[in-house]
Amino acid sequence: MAHVPASERRPQLIQAAIDLMAREGIAAGSTRAIAAELGVAQATVHYTFGTKKDLYRAVVEELTAEFINQVRAASPGHGTFGEQVRTMVYALWESAVGEGGRCALITEFAAMSLRDPELQEIMRALQYEIESTAAELLTALAEAHGQELATPAHEIAVLFLVGFNGLTDRYLVLRRAGERPDAEALHTLDLLIATTVGLCLGAPARLP
C-alpha cells in the first residue's frame, strides 16, 4: 500500500477497528486483525497507537462523536418543542441501532470498563461529555422556543440517557438479526420522549 501520512492513517485505522469490533466484538480487535482489516503492516498500528488503551480511547471517542454529530445534524424543522425533541431523539435512536453493532460496541466497552480502571476512566469522561451535550441541546431548544426549563437541564439529560440506554440495550437483546424496530420499541421510545418533554415543561407527560 502506498505511503499515507499519519494524519490520514490514524482515522483509517480507527474506522477499521470500529468495523472489525462491531462485527466480531472487542476481543477480536487485535493489532494484527486491525492491520489485516485495512491491509497494512501490524507495525503501523503499533506506531499509530502506543498501547491498546490508546486504541480503545480513540475508538470510543469516534463512536461517541458519530452519535453526537448525527443528533446535532438532525434539523428539528418546524413544530412544537415536543415535536422537535422527538426529531432529535429519533436521530439518536437511528444512530444507536441503525448501524450494525455500533451501539452494542459501546455497551461492550462499558461492561469491560467495570473491571478495568483505565478503561473506566475513558468511559467516565465520555459519559460526562454525552450528558453535557444532551443538556446543551435541550437548553438551546428551550431558548429557541422561549421556554424556561422546569427541571435543570443536566438532571433531565441524565434521566433521559439512563432510559434511552436501557431501551436500546433491551431492543438489541430482544431483536433478531436484520429486524427493524417493532411497534412496542418505538412506542416505549415515544413514552420516554413524552416523559422528557414533561420534565422540561413541567407538564404531565404526553406523547408529542
Q: Is the dihedral of CA 117, 108, 62, 88 positive or negative?
A: negative
CATH number of the domain located at residue range(s) 52-201 in this protein: 1.10.357.10
Q: Residue 60: pLDDT band by 50, 70, 90 thresholds?
A: very high
pLDDT digit string (tens) for 10-39? 999 999 999 999 889 899 989 999 999 999
Of residues 92, 103, 105, the one with CA closest to residue 157: 92
- Average pLDDT (191-205) is 88
- pLDDT, position 6: 63
Residue-range domain boundaries for the chain: 1-50, 52-201
CATH number of the domain located at residue range(s) 1-50 in this protein: 1.10.10
| pTM score over 0.85 | no
- pLDDT, position 96: 83
The greatest distance separating any two alpha carbons of the chain, rounded to the nearest whole angstrom, comes to 61
Q: Residue 207: pLDDT band by 50, 70, 90 thresholds?
A: low
Element of type H or E holding 42: helix 42-48
Q: Residue 2: pLDDT band by 50, 70, 90 thresholds?
A: low
pLDDT digit string (tens) for 143-187? 999 999 999 999 999 999 999 999 988 888 887 666 776 888 899
Residue 196, C-alpha cell as written in the block:
422528557
